[in-house]
Amino acid sequence: MAAPGPLTPGTPIDPSQAPVIEGFTPSVYSSTETFKEKFLRKTRENPMVPIGCLGTAAALTYGLYCFHRGQSQRSQLMMRTRIAAQGFTVAAILLGLAASALKSRS
């Protein structure tokens, strides 16, 4: 049985450059976006996800605060609220994905 050839081509790989994959474009946008621009674009595309994330964080923070103060009933309520907010966030992500898939079809 013959030994397999080298896995990499003869040209050296430059780690400072992105790999070139034939037929693949990493972004549909012509210019690169900063973090802030990308965050604002994604928020405009699906505004319910950041709202759900903020609701989740608020319920968690207030629930932990109530737990620290010994208010176990309120803490339990806030933990249940956190679960509901997480469910809302996941549903918003899935609905946003479905909407973008339907938009790209048409």
25 Cβ neighbours under 8 A, 6+ residues apart: none
Q: How far is CA 53 from CA 27, 49, 81, 100, 106, in A?
A: 26, 6, 12, 20, 30
Answer with the residue of higher pLDDT: 106 or 58. Answer: 58
Quick one: average pLDDT of 10-17? 72
pLDDT tens per residue across span 27-59: 666 678 889 998 899 899 888 999 999 999 999
Confidence at 5, pLDDT banded by 50, 70, 90 = low
Query: Mean pLDDT, the chain, as a whole number?
Result: 85
User: Does residue 6 or residue 82 have the better pLDDT?
Assistant: 82
Token pair belonging to 70: 């010994």
Residue 100 has pLDDT above 70, yes or no: yes
